[in-house]
C-alpha cells in the first residue's frame, strides 16, 4: 500500500479472527535454517515481513511455499552461509540468521539488518553473547562475519533483549555443550520459539523465565501452529475503543495482552474475555493514568503508539513513558496534525484529551506508528490520508479488507 484514505467517524463493529504472530513466526522461520528437515507452520500471517523472510531463506537454499496461512519449509539440502543484503536490510529479524547459520554451518555472513527506525538499535548483546559461546565476530564493510561452531557456556544478558535471546537460543542448537542464558527475555514469542524447537527435538527448559537452558539434542523437522498476534489484537481493540465501537476478537490469548486490556478497562471500555476470545464495548473514554512500557510482562512498547491513538479523546491527562526504545514517539507529530494535544519531554508524552479530532494528510513513520495514525483517522471527522502506508504491510495482513469488514470507510492505493 502507498496511501490509505480514511473517512473517519464510524464506529468499528463486528468479529475478527486475529492473525498469527509476526514476532513469533519470524524467529521460527529463522530456526528452520538451523535444522535440516521439513517443516509445516500453520496460522502464519500474510504479511510482508514473512514474504521477505521466505525469500531470504530461499536465497540460502531452503525450499519454501506459502498458501492460506500455511508455510512449508524444506531445509534438507545444502545451504549457503551469506544472506542477500538487499532483502536482509529490509527487516531487523534477519539478524536471527546469524544464530541459525552458526548452529548449522559454524559460519554466517549477514548484512547489518534493517527494520523500524525506533532509535538506537545496537547488536552488542547479540554479538557479545555469541562471543561468550566462542564465536569469532568481525564487522566488515556493513556486514557481520561470524565464524566458529558455538561452544557450551553461560551467557548473562544485562538487558532482556528479545532478539538477542532468540539469536542465542538458535546458536545454542548447534553448540558442543549445554548453554545457559541468564537475564533472558520472557515474551510469549520466546515461549513459542521454544515450543517449536521442542517439537523439533530440542532439549530446552525455562523459556518464559529469565533463565533458559539448552542442551545438545538430535534435531528434526516438525509441524507447529504459530501463536496469535497480541500486537495485531491490541491494534484492533484500540481502533474499536477510539471509535466508540463494539468488537469481538477470536484466535487470541487474552492473558498475553493483560497490560493493554487493563489500560483499556481503566479508560472505561467494557471488556469480557474467554480463554481464546475477547469482546470490547467502548464507552466514553477517560484517562487511565500512566502507561509505562517495559519488557514482558510490563506494558508492551509495540502497543504504546496504538493505545496513545485510542486515548486522544479520553477526558483528562494520560502520561506515557517509553522505556524500551529511545525514539518511539515519531507518530506524535501526525497525531497532533489531527488535532491531538500532546507534549513530549525526553521519554515522556503527556496526552490531554480533546473533544474532537479532524482529518489530515500524514506520513507513516514505522509499523505501529502508522497503525496509530490509522486509528486516529478512524476517530477523526472528515478525510485523512496516510502516506508511506507500506510500513503497515510489514505487520498487518489484508489490512484494508479487515477494516472495511468492521464498517470503516477505508481505501488504499
Ligand atoms: C523485538 C520485536 C519488536 C519489539 C521489541 C521489544 C521482533 C521482530 N521485534 O525487537 O517488535 O518492539 O522486541 O519488545 O520480534 N538492545 C541493545 N543491544 C542489543 C539488542 C537490543 O541495546 O544488542 C536494546 C534496543 O536498542 C532496545 C531494547 O534493547 O532499546 C529492546 O530491544 P530488543 O528487545 O532486542 O528488541 P528487538 O528484538 O529488536
Residue whose CA lies nearest to ligand 1 atom number 15: 23
CB of residue 26 inside a 6 A radius of ligand 1: yes
Write down the residue that cell numbers 542464558 correspond to: 181
Distance (Å, whole) CA 198 – CA 192 = 10
Nearest C-alpha neighbor of 19 from the set 396, 407, 412, 408: 396
> What does the alpha-carbon distance between residue 103 and residue 138 come to, in Å, rounded to a whole number?
17
Query: Which atom number of ligand 1 is nearest to the Cα of residue 126?
Result: 23
**How far is residue 172's CA from residue 34's CA, in Å, rounded to a whole number?**
10
Taking the alpha carbons of 45, 51, 53, 58 in that order, is the dihedral positive or negative? positive
Q: Quick one: pLDDT at residue 110?
A: 86
Torsion angle (degrees, nearest 10) of CA 403, 407, 410, 411: 80
Residues linked to residue 363 through DSSP beta bridges, in sequence order: 387
pLDDT at 260: 98
Q: What pTM, to 2 d.p., does this model score?
A: 0.96
Cell of 179: 548453554
Task: Catalogue all structural domains in the chain, each as residue range(s) with its CATH number.
Answer: 3-18+228-412 (3.65.10.10), 22-214 (3.65.10.10)
Confidence (pLDDT) at 85:
81
pLDDT average per 10 residues of sequence, the chain (413 residues): 97 98 98 98 97 95 96 95 81 90 94 58 90 93 90 98 98 98 98 98 98 98 98 98 98 97 98 97 96 98 98 98 95 98 98 98 97 98 98 97 98 95
Annotation says 238 is catalytic: no
Q: Burial letters for 344-360: b for 16+ Cβ neighbours within 10 Å, e otherwise? A: eeebebebebbeebbbb
Residue 53 half-sphere exposure, CB side, CA atoms within 13 Å? 33
What is the whole-number distance in angstroms between the Cα of residue 356 and the centre of ligand 1? 35
Nearest to 334 by CA among 384, 395, 400: 384
Q: What is the pLDDT of residue 114?
A: 55
Query: What is the whole-number distance in angstroms between the Cα of residue 50 and the centre of ligand 1?
Result: 18
Pairing of strands 211-215, 179-182: antiparallel
As a whole number of angstroms, the distance between CA 49 and CA 113 comes to 13
* Secondary structure letter of residue 158 according to DSSP: S
**Minimum CA distance residue for ligand 1 atom 1:** 162
Nearest to 294 by CA among 375, 396, 178, 186: 186
User: Which helix H or strand E contains 203, and what residues bound it?
Assistant: strand 203-205
Amino acid at each position: 500500500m502507498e496511501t490509505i484514505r480514511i473517512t473517519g467517524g464510524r464506529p468499528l463493529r463486528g468479529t475478527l479472527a486475529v492473525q498469527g504472530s509476526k514476532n513469533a513466526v519470524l524467529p521460527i522461520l529463522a530456526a528452520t535454517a538451523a535444522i535440516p528437515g521439513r517443516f509445516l507452520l500453520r496460522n502464519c500471517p500474510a504479511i510482508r515481513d514473512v514474504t521477505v523472510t521466505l525469500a531470504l531463506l530461499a536465497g540460502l537454499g531452503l525450499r519454501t511455499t506459502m498458501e492460506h496461512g500455511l508455510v512449508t519449509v524444506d531445509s534438507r539440502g545444502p545451504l549457503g552461509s551469506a544472506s542477500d543484503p538487499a532483502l536482509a536490510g529490509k527487516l531487523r529479524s534477519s539478524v536471527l540468521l546469524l544464530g541459525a547459520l552458526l548452529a548449522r554451518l559454524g559460519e554466517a555472513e549477514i548484512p547489518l539488518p534493517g527494520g523500524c527506525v525506533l532509535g538506537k538499535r545496537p547488536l552488542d548483546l547479540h554479538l557479545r553473547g555469541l562471543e561468550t559461546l566462542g564465536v569469532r565476530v568481525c564487522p566488515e564493510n556493513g556486514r557481520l562475519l561470524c565464524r566458529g561452531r558455538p561452544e557450551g557456556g553461560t551467557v548473562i544478558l544485562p538487558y532482556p533483549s528479545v532478539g538477542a535471546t532468540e539469536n542465542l537460543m538458535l546458536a545454542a542448537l548447534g553448540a558442543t555443550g549445554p548453554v545457559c542464558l541468564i537475564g533472558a527475555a520472557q515474551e510469549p514469542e520466546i515461549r513459542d520459539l521454544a515450543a517449536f524447537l521442542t517439537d523439533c527435538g530440542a532439549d530446552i527448559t525455562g523459556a518464559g523465565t529469565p533463565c533458559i537452558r539448552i542442551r545438545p539434542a538430535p534435531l528434526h523437522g516438525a509441524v507447529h501452529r504459530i501463536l496469535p498476534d497480541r500486537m495485531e489484537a491490541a491494534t484492533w481493540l484500540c481502533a474499536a475503543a477510539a471509535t466508540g465501537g463494539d468488537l469481538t476478537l477470536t484466535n487470541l490469548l487474552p492473558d498475553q495482552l493483560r497490560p493493554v486490556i487493563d489500560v483499556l478497562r481503566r479508560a472505561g471500555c467494557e471488556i469480557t474475555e474467554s480463554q481464546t476470545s475477547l469482546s470490547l464495548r467502548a464507552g466514553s473514554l477517560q484517562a487511565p493514568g500512566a502507561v509505562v512500557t517495559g519488557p514482558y510482562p510490563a506494558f508492551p512498547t509495540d502497543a504504546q503508539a496504538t493505545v496513545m491513538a485510542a486515548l486522544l479523546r479520553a477526558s483528562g491527562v494520560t502520561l506515557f513513558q517509553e522505556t524500551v526504545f529511545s525514539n518511539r514517539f515519531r507518530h506524535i507529530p501526525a497525531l497532533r496534525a489531527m488535532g491531538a494535544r500532546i507534549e513530549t519531554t525526553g521519554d515522556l508524552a503527556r496526552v490531554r484529551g480533546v473533544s474532537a479530532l479532524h482529518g489530515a494528510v500524514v506520513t507513516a513513520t514505522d509499523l505501529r506508528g502508522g497503525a496509530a495514525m490509522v486509528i486516529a483517522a478512524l476517530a477523526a471527522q472528515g478525510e485523512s490520508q496516510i502516506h508511506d502506508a507500506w510500513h503497515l504491510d510489514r505487520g498487518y495482513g489484508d489490512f484494508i479488507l479487515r477494516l472495511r469488514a468492521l464498517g470503516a470507510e477505508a481505501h488504499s492505493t
